[in-house]
Amino acid sequence: MPDGYEEKLVARLKRRDEAAFNELIQLYQGRIYRLVFRMLGDRAEAEDLAQEVFITVFKSIDGFRGDSKLSTWLYRVATNHCK
């Protein structure tokens, strides 16, 4: 990713930019699915939970403070959903 891309993406997400949300999904969908699948071991459940992760992220992006990379925060949201 180019320098500053993540910060711009987060700013767009916080403005509820639908195109930014689609970009986020395109960038991280596979990684989030694989993480969730490794934790759950069930493909259908992993697909459903991965979708829930992105819905949660969209609803709670305002809580992202930028103390970590966006991907780190996404992985934390995903692991919390698996518990």
Helix (H) / strand (E) containing 42 = none
Task: Give tens-digit pLDDT for 35-47.
Answer: 999 999 999 999 9
CA proximity to 52, closest of 31, 77, 34: 77
11-63 tens-digit pLDDT: 999 999 999 999 999 999 999 999 999 999 999 999 999 999 999 999 999 99
**Fold assignment, 12-82:** Rna Polymerase Sigma Factor; Chain: A (1.10.1740)
pLDDT for the residue numbered 17: 96
Domain boundaries, the chain: 12-82
- Using the Cα atoms of residue 71, residue 65, residue 59 and residue 78 in order, give the sign of their dihedral: positive
Give me 81's structure tokens.
């959903």
| Ramachandran bin of 4, using left for φ above 0, alpha for ψ from -120 to 50, beta for the remaining angles | left
pTM of the predicted model as reported, rounded to 2 decimal places:
0.89
